[in-house]
Amino acid sequence: MSPGKKDNSKNKIWAKEAAIQIGAGGSAGFVEVCTLHPMDLVKTRFQLQVKTKVLDHIYYTGLINYFENNLRCNRLQKIMVISFKV
């Protein structure tokens, strides 16, 4: 077996391993962003809100309240977009 052929098979194995690592890292990053970005958004909204004496409709009292308000607002936005589309 010639030395050139041995090096070529090592390069193929190395390229295959590199492709697997890049694919695994990319898919892990995609899953992480899709799952944790919404939670980071919720955390930031909780941190930025200011408590007032009068309960404002924008003030969130907890996670359940946040998701209820968010779903209610998004439903209204979807209804508005659908009803005003020509």
pLDDT in tens, 24-48: 999 999 999 888 888 888 888 888 8
Same structural domain, 37 and 59: no
Query: pTM of the entire structure?
Result: 0.50
Mean pLDDT along residues 47-69: 77
What's the number of domains the chain is made of?
A: 2
Scanning the chain, the segments in alpha helix (DSSP H) are 3-48, 63-84
Both tokens of 36, joined, read 């944790």
- pLDDT of residue 5 exceeding 80, the answer is no
Q: Domain of 73? A: 52-86
Same structural domain, 42 and 58: no
